[in-house]
Each structure stands twice: as structure tokens, then as C-alpha cells.
Amino acid sequence: MSKEYDLVILGGGTGGYVAAIRASQLGLQVAIVEKAELGGTCLHRGCIPSKALLRSAEVYRQTLEAAEFGVETRDTTLNFTNVQDRKQRIVNTLHQGVQGLMKKGKIDIFEGFGRILGPSIFSPMPGTISVEYENGEENTMIVPKNVLIATGSRPKSLPGLEIDGVSVMSSDEALQMKELPQSILIIGGGVIGIEWASMLSDFGVKVTVLEYLDQILPTEDKDIAKEMERLLKKKGISIIKGANVLSDTLIKDSGVSIQAEINAEKRTFNAEKILLSVGRQANTENIGIENTDIVLKNGYIETNRNYQTKESHIYAIGDVIGGMQLAHVASHEGITAVEHMADQEPHALNDENVPTCIYSNPEAASVGLSEEAAKEKGYQVKTGKFPFKAIGKALVYGESDGFAKIVVDKNTDDILGIHMIGPHVTDMISEAGLAKVLDATPWEMTQSIHPHPTLSEVLGEAALAVEGKQIHG
């Protein structure tokens, strides 16, 4: 027997479940096929659990440094079991929340693995979904009018340096660690590598980061990446750039040892464990792509601006289509795709208006073009920069490293990018995002009054600094 729906979504992660809620609001009959747990990578193996651990690391570090605030603490110890339990409680609460939202939206959930079938007795078009169950139960056939692929991504490994979950971990396994290692070698100094380096260092682990390129956080503005490197080194993290890791030199013994070529010289690195954070790859296998005309490009599903694949009734969003692999991008894409299939006219997403956040200590956040990317695109730029050390609230808060930087088109005065590093910048980047969406000029940013004393004053001052008119610097 087959079931019929207006929309079937493969994958109930942040992209998939948000799309389902929007579809339900628009009156569509929706089902999600999910092989594991609703909430996907972000909720169970990504954003939420990693931020919960980062917060525990922050509290631990701040407690150790509490004397600076006149607060005497004695015998501060870390109970990592309780740290992990707290993380899990937060995940469980949010998981229940998502399940509740599905019920409220009358969204059906099929707990199995979804595969797209070609033309069949159920439908002359590809897109019938066969749901396969681990317990061997008979497959369910679902015949949808539209399909949305939101199957996400998984950590990449390197040839010869396979993830075994014990000595060589990805962030998936690292999130489940029962005990902290004494030392760790982090391969890849991108967003995951830097967040974990900061967190583990704050927990007291000896951290070494090996980055292949000559800049950590290679897509960030150079000034931000440099400041991040300086501040992480100040914490005692060893950061080695231009490191070509020689995967075939891996030795697993009581710990791990691996060689890397740096400036044509081979160096050996030893640690208790390796964390591999060299990017993620799309989950496109076994979902029946071969039964359709869907095109893959560099391993990602190709779509148009409305997220339609080459099969116009099959849409794809989130990490599986590549681009900015971020939860908030996936959910926005999901909403756009669903609105398009419901004959609305959604706005196409502009990558240059999407904020990115790094939740290390210090935090970093940005929206739009870096100074280097703007110049590469042919813009003549002017910039304004203002440090947190001249912001009263940052001193009060006890974290005055970092700055805000605004990159502006010299000819039109349009803001091209805003980049921040320092306390709570991930919560403050939304103002910059709104400025980008509204095509604001720095002067317009200064006309939105920044209350005193707040950390947000750093943005008002950086906007003034574009014309050299900053007040406190």
C-alpha cells in the first residue's frame, strides 16, 4: 500500500524540520523520513552539543580566573561526566521541543531510511519514496507531489588517516568523549578545529593545531584570523600553519604520532588523540540519485536559486548542496524551497548577507565580504576599525581583546562586510546583518543609537572610524 503527501522531506535536521513546519503553515500535507533522530547534526552532533561544552569550558576558565574579579574560589575542579550530562540534558530538551513542533504541525515522521525511486507503478515520474526499516519491516511506499532532499553532511577523513573514533576522532566522536585527553592534535584550523582548540585548551588539554594553509580560518578576514591566532596562542595553544600532514606516517601506540612537512622540513607530532576537522562531505549515497536526472557537482547536489534540482519537483537544501554549510542557511533555504513549491515568490538568498559565527573564546562573527575578497572582486575599499579595549563594558566584563572592522565601498559608501572578534560578537552580528540587508552606509549605522555602556558600542565606533570620526579612540 502507498501513502500520498504534498511533500516528503528526506532528513529531519535543521533544514528539513524547519521546511516541514513552513510547509505545514502553508497547508501542505507533509512527511519527514529520518533514519536517526529529528534535529539532525546541528542538534545531536554539532551546533548545540558543541556550544554546551564550550559554555562549560568558559565557566571553568572564568572560575579559575575569578580572583581577578575579587571572587575567591578554592579547589576548583572539573567534573567532565557532569559536563557531558548537562550537554545531553540540553540536547534532550530541544529534541523534545522539535518532536512537539512536529505534532503541532501534524507532520508525519517515518523513522527509516528514504530512497528515491525511478518511475514506477506508483508514479510515472521519479520521486516515489521507499522507506526502509532497520528491523526488516516491509518498506513503506510514499508518493509525494514534491520531494525535498535535506540529508546533510558528515565529517571528511583523509586517505590513510581514517576516523576510528578512538585515537583518530571527528567532532562526532569528540562530542561523546567520556574523559578528556591530556593532549590533542587538531588537524584542520577551520571553524570546527578552532572551536575545539579553544574549548579543550580552556578545559586544560594541551592543544596543537596543524593547518595546511598559511591562515587559520581561511575564509575569514585576514585581520580577524590573525587576531584569533594571537589570542589562541596567548592561551597556550600551539598553532602551526603551512603544515602538510603526511597521513601515511600515522603510528598508533599508547597515543598517536604523525609527521607533517613544514617549510620542506619533516616534524613529528605526538599526542594522546587526533581530532580531524578538515571539512564535511555531502550525504548523497544510497538515496536514489541514480534513479533521477539530479546532477551532482563536486559531490554536492546542484540546484537553481529556488533549490530545485534538474527534476523540478525534487528540491535540495542545506549541507547536501554545499555552499555555506550552516544550520541557519539550511533552514532559510528550506523555507525558500517550500514557499516556491507552494507558488509563493520567495526572495533568493544572498550569501553576502549571511552571518557566520565562531563560538571559540574569543568569539568571531562576520557578515559580507572580507577586505581581501572585496579587493579581489574589484572594489575600492575603505575600512573602519575599533578595539574593544576602548569600550567600557568590555573592561567591566573582563574581556577587552578584539575589535570590530567595517569594510566599505569607497565609491558608493555601501557596507561590504562587517567582521568582529571579541566578547559576545556572535550575539551582536545580527545588527551588522540587518545593516547589510538594508544596504546601510556607515553613517546610517551611527544613526542607530548604541546604548552606553554596552559591547555594541564597538560597532557604532567602528562605523564612525570609517571617516576617522571615532570618539573614544
Q: Residue 468 Cβ, how far from ligand NAI at the closest point, in Å?
A: 33
Which residues from 157-186 bind ligand NAI, rule CB under 6 A? 158
- List the one residue out of 223, 226, 192, 228 whose CA is nearest residue 418: 223
Q: Which stretch binds ligand NAI (CB under 6 A): 61-69, 138-146, 192-200, 453-461?
A: 192-200
Question: Of 43, 174, 357, 391, which lies in the binding site for ligand NAI, with binding defined by CB under 6 A?
Answer: 357
Question: Residue 279, interface with ligand NAI (CB under 6 A)?
Answer: yes
Question: Of 359, 386, 388, 403, which lies in the binding site for ligand NAI, with binding defined by CB under 6 A?
Answer: 359
42 burial (CB, 10 Å; 0-12 / 13-18 / 19+) is: buried
- List the one residue out of 347, 416, 350, 424 whose CA is nearest residue 380: 416
Nearer to ligand NAI, 126 or 188 (CB): 188
Q: Residue 322 Cβ, how far from ligand NAI at the closest point, in Å?
A: 9
The three-class DSSP label of residue 301 is strand
Which residues from 291-350 bind ligand NAI, rule CB under 6 A? 325-326
Which residues from 437-466 bind ligand NAI, rule CB under 6 A? none
Question: Of 191, 275, 287, 415, which lies in the binding site for ligand NAI, with binding defined by CB under 6 A?
Answer: 191
Question: Of 10, 192, 250, 367, which lies in the binding site for ligand NAI, with binding defined by CB under 6 A?
Answer: 192
Residue type (1 letter), 217: L
- List the one residue out of 189, 179, 161 whose CA is nearest residue 277: 189
Question: Residue 200, interface with ligand NAI (CB under 6 A)?
Answer: no
Residue 127, sorted as left (phi over 0), alpha (psi -120 to 50) or beta, turns out to be left
Nearer to ligand NAI, 191 or 416 (CB): 191
Retrieve residue 240's grid coordinates. 602551526
Q: Decide: 169 and 274 in contact? Cβ < 8 Å.
A: yes
Residue type (1 letter), 240: I
Q: Residue 175 Cβ, how far from ligand NAI at the closest point, in Å?
A: 11
Retrieve residue 466's grid coordinates. 570609517
Question: How far is the C-alpha of 108 from the C-alpha of 102, rounded, in Å?
Answer: 7
Q: Residue 285 Cβ, how far from ligand NAI at the closest point, in Å?
A: 19
Instruction: Name 426's Cβ contacts closer than 8 Å, sequence gap at least 6.
Output: 357, 358, 359, 363, 364, 365
Nearer to ligand NAI, 128 or 153 (CB): 153
Q: Decide: 240 and 209 in contact? Cβ < 8 Å.
A: yes
Nearer to ligand NAI, 278 or 337 (CB): 278
Question: How far is the C-alpha of 73 from the C-alpha of 64, rounded, in Å?
Answer: 8
Question: Of 102, 187, 275, 320, which lies in the binding site for ligand NAI, with binding defined by CB under 6 A?
Answer: 187
Nearer to ligand NAI, 426 or 456 (CB): 426
The 8-class DSSP code of residue 68 comes to: G
Closest chain position to ligand NAI (CB): 190
Q: Residue 245 Cβ, how far from ligand NAI at the closest point, in Å?
A: 4
Nearer to ligand NAI, 198 or 277 (CB): 277
Nearer to ligand NAI, 280 or 419 (CB): 280
Q: Decide: 315 and 309 in contact? Cβ < 8 Å.
A: yes
**Nearest-5° angle of CA 104, CA 108, CA 114?**
145
Residue identified by cell 501534524 is 106
- List the one residue out of 205, 164, 220, 149 whose CA is nearest residue 369: 220
Q: Residue 399 Cβ, how far from ligand NAI at the closest point, in Å?
A: 19
Q: Residue 140 Cβ, how far from ligand NAI at the closest point, in Å?
A: 32
Q: Decide: 108 and 31 in contact? Cβ < 8 Å.
A: yes
Which residues from 209-228 bind ligand NAI, rule CB under 6 A? 210-213, 218
Retrieve residue 413's grid coordinates. 559608501
Residue identified by cell 581561511 is 218
Q: Hey, which residues are catalytic here?
A: 452
Question: Residue 261, interface with ligand NAI (CB under 6 A)?
Answer: no
Question: Of 98, 250, 278, 455, which lies in the binding site for ligand NAI, with binding defined by CB under 6 A?
Answer: 278
Nearer to ligand NAI, 209 or 341 (CB): 209
Task: List residues binding ligand NAI (CB under 6 A).
Answer: 158, 187-193, 195, 210-213, 218, 243, 245, 277-280, 325-326, 356-359
